[in-house]
Amino acid sequence: MMDDFEFEEFMSHVETPMHEIEPNLYLGSLMAGGNEQFLREYSIKYIVQALDCSSDSPQFDGITYHFIAIEDSPMEDISKHLPGALRFIHQHLLEGEKVLVHCQAGVSRSASIVIAYLMGKYLINFAQASNVVLQKRKCIFPNLGFQKQLREIGEERLNLFLR
């Protein structure tokens, strides 16, 4: 259980629209992904959206989207969405572009995708990748179903999606 200070720190990260996890790779919430001025200010041109349905977030001209229709439920199969999402992220980062990965709160769905990306890129396990992300965005908590799937897939298989 969190003490008052830990809870306040957690909430401050939830309320921050996005955090840079590594150069040009951002993890955030709908507050970031749904704010055109914010996206233009940060020069973000590529977005992975992980939401219940595409109507949950506006789409803006000049931004390329990779939409993933997924609920934040342990019963959801996130693994089927990873090949396309990880290729999209990797391709645009290699081009020097900025990529935002967001869901509703930037806590579970989008965090799982960024963790999967780091696992594949650096060939590190789930715990190691989670710790990297947690250092930058302290409010992440992938649901238990997503955690289980990422552990089972493993970093070697995720690395194949980046090719």
Residues with catalytic annotation? 103
SS (H, E, C) the chain: CCCHHHHHHHHHHHHCCEEEEECCEEEECHHHHCCHHHHHHCCCCEEEEEECCHHHCCCCCCCEEEEEECCCCCCCCCHHHHHHHHHHHHHHHHCCCCEEEECCCCCCHHHHHHHHHHHHHHCCCHHHHHHHHHHHCCCCCCCHHHHHHHHHHHHHHHHHCCC
